[in-house]
A and B are shown apart, each in its own frame.
Chain A
């Protein structure tokens, strides 16, 4: 189960006000404005070099900012050094201390509290149990596997009960199976401890699976900040649409427009009209209509749909077991579009070269202009 967004009324944990960061001549962060709520699983998603890790490190205190304000729990972080911030981080490399045991790693940040030995050991064991490493305390840290290191890094950060846990691409070094397992565990852990998690990732699927809200970043700016479903269904620009999942584009020309409705002539689909909420920025790539592979339906013989259908020819078939991807050319269009269909028992997969009917739904289309 993916937890749903904490209500918009949840208190603000982190606020960025017009944050800029320069490295010499390089403008790494270009005016970041965002608020992150208490108890939220928040992701910073973007290609490498977009500034997402820099932004995370400004929260941790490893990077100063050139302009703007970072507020953490209402407090300006400008003069607070990294070791005095109520945040803890899981590093991309995990940064497990190689000269210490697992228990010493996990208890590293507790030493300043000068707890009695038994209490310290109890807390460490509790933290290790939470991440599924009970009884691993005495092991040498350098003898652990990648997944185990990650868990140690998590336990080491969470044992200090931070207000915010920062995760810098924590799953990128794991293999696919392990990654999927850790995604679920991180979600479970976040709900269990109830604190704000901020995840940096370049993997859009990971962001969609785990986050309450996602900020998509390009070139030092937040391009869109919304929950996963809005991001996927209603990207606000062609760039975001391209980055998240697959989006088909077909060229279109605007015929008429009013405040509420835009009427276009689109390749393959003919005349269409779009409500204002269906319009997104095309980023100078030219006016086009866009749709996800699964929102057009390939109709099998005799299946009724209605008048909103076009006919097309199947040009390529990619079989995935549970799904099949079809590259089809809609009559009257210059390029193929990718459609996906869930495979159902008893219904054969369409062959290449077959003529098919494609059902569509006007509400699911997006106009990029």
Chain B
């Protein structure tokens, strides 16, 4: 017994040694800046310097100023819509690849789905500008076809274009986890459901969908969490009314040089995302308790 315990101790030490470099890395590059951010958010903004005086003023400004509150709510709304659109569109794609594509071809399909990642995010956003712009592909096409006589202006520089662009950018992130969850479903379960008298549609609702839920939950979180803080897309295609919280933080930091308020906004956004994600996880936990 004693020897085994000693051996286990050595193993633990070895394990700690192995995880030490990434742990230190994560600590320095994630936790430290985060702590700094947290500290800033409680300090007072001087004109060109930061005064070391504790204050709640930044948070009260962030949460009560209608401008900031409005942008925060808009970010949440955009993020929710993007998540809903992405996951709803990703599910049929994942389902098709998992259930209707010849197994030998599945990897090709996955490969094709990831192709958008080959170009930079920035370029993809610019391409949407080309597509949705005043003289863009969409308007030119519709005008050539005679469907419209003058270019549509609601396509670009508003919330719609932000949602379209983000939903496209995050599609593979939603398709892949749903695909994995669908792949894990034993096909005989669907036969069993039909054998027990249920139609294909009801079998989908009673068997496939509940078993795919872990993938759906993962997809929702993977899309929702990063989109709420997205900076590039709203900056490039959002226009004034498509601005989101990240743009506001950038404004505070780099334009107005107000680190404390910027930090308070950042920490608030993070807290809100964390709380929403936790509530979502709690609501869906009965689907994601792992079998086996």
Contacts and interface: CB of A to CB of B under 8 A. Distances in A.
Nearest to A140: B291
A315 B210 CA distance: 63
A109 B199 CA distance: 11
A82 interface: yes
A95 B192 contact: yes
A190 B127 CA distance: 68
Given A98-B292, A99-B291, A108 B211 contact: no
A112 B211 CA distance: 21
Which of A87, A88, A108, A141 has the largest number of chain B CB atoms within 10 A?
A: A108
Which of A95, A112, A140 has the largest number of chain B CB atoms within 10 A?
A: A95
A142 interface: yes
Which of B188, B192, B206, B210 has the largest number of chain A CB atoms within 10 A?
A: B192
Interface in A297-356: none
B292 A95 contact: no
B53 interface: no
A24 to B, nearest CB: 13
Contacts of B191: 60, 62, 82, 89, 91, 95
Given A98-B292, A142-B292, A93 B193 contact: no
A21 interface: no
Nearest to B193: A108
Contact of B188 (A84, A91, A108): A91
A209 interface: no
B157 to A, nearest CB: 45
Q: Is the interface on chain B under 10, 10 to 19, 20 to 34, or 35 or more residues?
A: 10 to 19
B21 interface: no
B194 interface: yes
Which of B194, B196, B199, B210 has the largest number of chain A CB atoms within 10 A?
A: B196
Interface of A: 60-62, 81-84, 87-89, 91-93, 95, 97-99, 108-109, 112, 140-142, 156-157, 160
A88 B292 contact: no
B197 A95 contact: no
A117 B221 CA distance: 36
5 contacts: A82-B194, A89-B191, A89-B192, A141-B291, A142-B291
Contacts of B193: 97, 108
Contact of A95 (B189, B198, B211, B291): B189
B102 interface: no
A98 B188 CA distance: 12
Given A83-B199, A142-B291, A142-B292, A97 B192 contact: yes
A108 B205 CA distance: 13
* Interface class of chain A by DSSP: mixed
B207 A97 contact: yes
B41 to A, nearest CB: 43
Nearest to B184: A98
B186 interface: yes
Which of B195, B197, B206 has the largest number of chain A CB atoms within 10 A?
A: B195
Contacts of A108: 193, 196, 198, 206
Contact of A156 (B196, B207, B287, B291): B196
Contacts of B211: 98-99
Nearest to A108: B196
Interface string B163-200: 00000000000000000000000101101111111110
Contacts of B210: 99
B188 A88 contact: no
Nearest to B292: A142
B197 A112 contact: yes
Interface in B132-190: 186, 188-189
A91 B195 CA distance: 10
B207 A83 contact: no
Contacts of A157: 195-196
Contacts of A81: 194
7 shortest A-B CB distances, which residue pairs?
Answer: A109-B196, A142-B291, A95-B192, A98-B291, A95-B188, A83-B194, A82-B194
A28 to B, nearest CB: 18
Given A93-B188, A95-B189, A99-B210, A60 B291 contact: no
